[in-house]
């Protein structure tokens, strides 16, 4: 996080987050019954609003899931064998599964 709104208490600058890009209305019949994926006014960051491929994006705090801090991976996969984005995901998943 590089900035938070004045009413945000759940997150702080410096936190790492994953962002659900879907923007639900929370008012339609589907949202009210827990079927947000069928939202009648569905929108998404990077699809119906700007920010999906930008260096910085603004997201509602409800769409942000705080991630644990983590150190850099011990080894980095070769960029010729594995795209950087995939490597980052793989590295994070392996840390989630770690038992020690
Ligand atoms: Zn809705």
What is the 67 CA–ligand 1 centroid distance (Å)? 26
CA distance 94 to 100: 12
Whole-structure pTM over 0.85, yes or no? no
CA distance 75 to 23: 36
Q: Which residues make up the environment of ion ligand 1, defined by Cβ < 5 Å?
A: 24-25, 28, 31, 39
What is the 28 CA–ligand 1 centroid distance (Å)? 4
CB 21 within 8 A of CB 46: yes
Exposed/middle/buried for 92, CB within 10 Å: 0-12, 13-18, 19+? Answer: middle
pLDDT of residue 44: 93
Could you report the per-residue pLDDT of 52-71, keeping only the tens digit for each?
788 888 889 988 999 988 76
Stretch among 46-50, 51-55, 65-69, 71-75 having the lowest mean pLDDT: 71-75
What is the 64 CA–ligand 1 centroid distance (Å)? 18
CA distance 35 to 26: 10
């Amino acid at each position: 996080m590089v900035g938070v709104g004045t009413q945000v208490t759940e997150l702080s600058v410096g936190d790492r987050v994953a962002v659900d890009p879907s923007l639900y209305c929370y008012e339609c019949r589907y949202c009210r019954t827990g079927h947000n994926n069928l939202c009648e006014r569905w929108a998404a960051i990077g699809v119906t609003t700007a920010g999906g491929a930008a260096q910085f994006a603004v997201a509602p705090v409800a769409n942000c899931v705080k991630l644990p801090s983590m150190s850099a991976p011990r080894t980095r996969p070769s960029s010729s064998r594995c795209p950087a984005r995939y490597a980052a995901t793989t590295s994070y998943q392996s840390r989630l599964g770690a038992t020690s």
